[in-house]
Amino acid sequence: MIVVTGGAGFIGSNMIRALNKRGENNILLVDHLVNGRKMHNIADLNIADYMDKAEFIEKMNTTGFLNGVKAVFHQGACSATTEWDGQYVMKNNYDYSKQLLHACISKNVAFIYASSASVYGNGANGFRVERSCEQPINMYAYSKFQFDQYVRLVLPTTDCQIAGFRYFNVYGPGEQHKGSMSSTAFHFNQQVLEHNKAKLFAGCDGMDDGEQQRDFVYVDDVVDVNLWFLDHPEQSGIFNVGTGRAETFNTVANTVLAWHQKGSIEYIPFPEHLKGAYQSYTQADISGLRQAGYNKEFLTVKEGVTQYLDCLNLR
């Protein structure tokens, strides 16, 4: 059996879909379906069982927990970067992850988990998987950073596979339930459909309008990295998962406009509340992935967004 926490979420549901395509249906989906609309992400999936997150945590210390499990893909977390209740965030993203990590180690079950590129803060020191580059600037980022720190302490003490992935800006099918946290590609698509305009932030941090740059990575590529590590249990560590390219928001918007063959870009004032807490530039250093042996090329924004819109708009 394979366990996927956060299995009804964006990346988790895409992970299960890819596992199904491999013929793997013996899957335990763990989630917390307070937002029942997430069921649309999983209605077409084949799983062996569903378990609420609270029940899953309750069973962690019971005899037989994880018996017969090959791997845990731990994608479940409080993913809101705007959440400032530190106790809530640490309980969900740090304590929960620690418990599950030790349960996996005790049974020698592969533990493959989601970290975040948010640990690099404003990126002033670069985006390498090094302590000198890490400076989280919100509670969500701190929880992810602190768990990575804990993993660094544990890694030398075990032969169990532990692989953590610092996701950069992931976009693709299955993110519609995330609301304001959905990708810019999703929002631009909706804006063009509704208002014939894609709304981008005006320039900031010395950059021109819409020229802020992010490492946008398509969800299928993210899933492929996860499954590659499942197939290579000898590989452990913490890795950046991005394309290794920084592309502009203008490029995303123009790709959306080109797909629809209509619309225009409107630049809106940069929000006051985001000043000092916004990543104007990200670019993953993926040398660690390449050294581990993962050699597949990542989709560009034009390739990935076009593929996404084909799915999103069912053309």
> Does one domain contain both 263 and 224?
no
Exposed e or buried b for every residue in 214-239, given b needs 16+ CB within 10 A? bbbbbbbbbbebbbbbbeebebbbbb
Does residue 291 belong to any structural domain of this protein? no
Domain that residue 114 falls in: 2-170+218-243
CATH number at residue 105: 3.40.50.720
Q: What is the pLDDT of residue 279?
A: 78
Does residue 69 belong to any structural domain of this protein? yes
In this prediction the pTM is 0.94
Does residue 289 belong to any structural domain of this protein? no
Q: What is the pLDDT of residue 211?
A: 95
- Return d(Cα 32, Cα 28) in angstroms, integer: 13
DSSP bridge partners of 5: 30, 74
> Does one domain contain both 95 and 122?
yes
Quick one: tokens of 93?
A: 């993203």
Q: Is 140 labeled as catalytic in the residue annotation? A: yes
Does residue 60 belong to any structural domain of this protein? yes
For 192-208, write each residue's pLDDT tens digit.
999 999 999 998 878 89
C-alpha dist (Å) from residue 230 to 68, 111, 233, 280: 16, 9, 6, 33
> Does one domain contain both 268 and 222?
no
Active-site residue (options: 140, 142, 167, 308): 140
> Does one domain contain both 197 and 123?
no
> Does one domain contain both 191 and 148?
no
Does residue 271 belong to any structural domain of this protein? yes
Q: What is the pLDDT of residue 125?
A: 94
Q: What is the pLDDT of residue 88?
A: 87
Does residue 290 belong to any structural domain of this protein? no
Q: What is the pLDDT of residue 82?
A: 72
> Does one domain contain both 198 and 86?
no
Q: Is 178 labeled as catalytic in the residue annotation? A: yes
> Does one domain contain both 79 and 155?
yes
> What is the count of structural domains for the chain?
2
Q: What is the pLDDT of residue 277?
A: 67
Per-residue tens of pLDDT for the chain, all 315 residues: 999 999 999 999 999 999 999 999 999 999 998 888 888 999 999 999 999 999 999 999 898 999 999 999 999 988 777 778 889 899 999 999 999 999 999 999 999 999 999 999 989 899 999 999 999 989 999 999 999 999 999 999 999 999 999 999 999 999 988 888 889 999 999 999 999 999 999 988 788 999 999 999 999 999 999 999 999 999 999 999 999 999 999 999 999 999 999 999 999 998 887 776 677 899 999 999 999 999 999 999 999 999 999 999 985
Q: What is the pLDDT of residue 315?
A: 55
Q: What is the pLDDT of residue 176?
A: 87
Active-site residue (options: 107, 178, 197, 199): 178
